[in-house]
């Protein structure tokens, strides 16, 4: 008897389950453990042999490896976030994943797109600009404006510009209000007017103007 064993040639490339992979994740995704930081699993099959081991690797030529925030398990194809994300630094990551046979003879690549979702994680900044005709000074985050009591009703004193670096429309509801005014027995002599309409998705400007006639002896 003659026994002839036919060996399997590695003639097929691994095939991915999708033409490309697209995932959207929040910038504040937890990276404390593999379960919370795992975002996507890449799956490829090989027609040569059912038990053929496929190895996965990330192909990224744009970002240095130590700054690239993703890694992949070479055996399972599971992609996880390995370092903190920041929408204001990078909104979209594009790279490829290579799937190769254990012997490395054949391989395939698939595009990956990861969109980072903005989270409202930055405090607004405030910039006060007072007209030159009025005295203005700052002390320990307290702002002092000196005006004459004969200033007319509705007179513009200056502007307040508020900015927020969180960049999406969703997070940009910028508003400003007067919380308290002394003496509390009288109506506040100052109002904030956003009618200037000098607004964008990242900033809003308010006019500071008088809302009633002033009397230094009364308040």
Q: Which sign does the torsion angle of CA 210, 213, 214, 218 carry?
A: negative
Rounded to 5 degrees, what are φ and ψ at 34? -65, -30
The answer as to whether 105 is a domain residue is yes
Residue 147 and residue 81 share a domain: no
Residue 8 forms part of a structural domain: no
The pLDDT of residue 145 is: 83
| pLDDT at 79 (0 to 100) | 96
User: 86 in a domain, yes or no?
Assistant: yes
Q: Which of 117, 150, 182 is the last residue of a domain?
A: 117
Q: Are residues 133 and 195 in the same domain?
A: yes
50 CB-near residues (< 8 Å, 6+ apart): none
Domain final position from 117, 135, 158 = 117
Residues 89 and 162 in one domain: no
- Residue 183: the pLDDT is 74
Number of domains present in the structure of the chain:
2
Contact 169, 201 (CB under 8 A): yes
Predicted pLDDT at 39: 95
For residue 29, what is the domain's CATH number? 2.60.40.60
Q: Residue 189 CB: number of other CB atoms within 10 A? A: 18
Residue 174 sits in the same domain as residue 199: yes
175 & 131 share domain: yes
Write the DSSP symbol of residue 122: S
List all residues 6 or more positions away from 88 whose beta carbon is below 8 Å from its beta carbon. Answer: 118, 122, 165, 166, 167
Is this structure's pTM higher than 0.95?
Answer: no
- Tell whether 4 is covered by a domain: no
Q: Please determine, for residue 197, whether its predicted confidence score (pLDDT) is greater than 70.
A: no
State which residues form the domain around 71: 15-117
Do 111 and 48 share a structural domain? Answer: yes
Is it the case that residue 135 has pLDDT exceeding 90?
no
98 and 19 share a domain? Answer: yes
Residues 53 and 133 in one domain: no
Asked if 62 and 149 sit in the same domain, the reply is: no
Query: What's the pLDDT at 66?
Result: 86
In a domain, 219, yes or no: no
Whether residues 111 and 24 fall in one domain = yes
Last residue of a domain, one of 117, 137, 154: 117
2 lies in some domain? no
How sure is the predictor about 7, in pLDDT bands with cuts at 50, 70 and 90? low
State pLDDT tens for residues 54-72: 999 999 878 888 889 999 9
Judged by DSSP in three states, 127 sits in strand
């Amino acid at each position: 008897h003659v026994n002839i064993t036919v060996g399997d040639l590695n003639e097929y490339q691994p095939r991915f389950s999708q033409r490309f992979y697209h995932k959207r994740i929040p910038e504040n995704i937890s990276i404390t453990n593999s379960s919370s930081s795992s975002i996507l699993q890449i799956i490829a099959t090989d027609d040569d042999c059912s038990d053929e081991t496929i190895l996965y690797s990330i192909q990224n030529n744009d970002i240095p490896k130590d700054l690239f925030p993703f890694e992949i398990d070479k055996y399972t194809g599971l992609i996880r976030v390995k370092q903190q994300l920041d929408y204001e630094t990078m909104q979209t990551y594009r790279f490829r994943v290579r799937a190769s046979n254990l012997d490395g003879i054949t391989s395939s690549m698939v595009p990956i797109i990861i969109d980072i979702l903005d989270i409202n994680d930055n405090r607004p900044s405030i910039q006060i600009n007072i007209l030159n005709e009025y005295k203005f000074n700052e002390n320990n985050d307290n702002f002092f404006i000196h005006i004459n009591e004969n200033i007319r009703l509705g007179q513009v004193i200056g502007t307040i510009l508020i900015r927020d670096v969180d960049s999406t429309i969703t997070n940009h509801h910028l508003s400003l209000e007067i919380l308290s005014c002394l003496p509390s027995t009288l109506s506040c002599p100052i109002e904030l007017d956003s009618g200037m309409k000098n607004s964008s998705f990242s900033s809003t400007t308010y006019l500071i103007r008088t809302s009633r006639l002033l009397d230094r002896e009364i308040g």
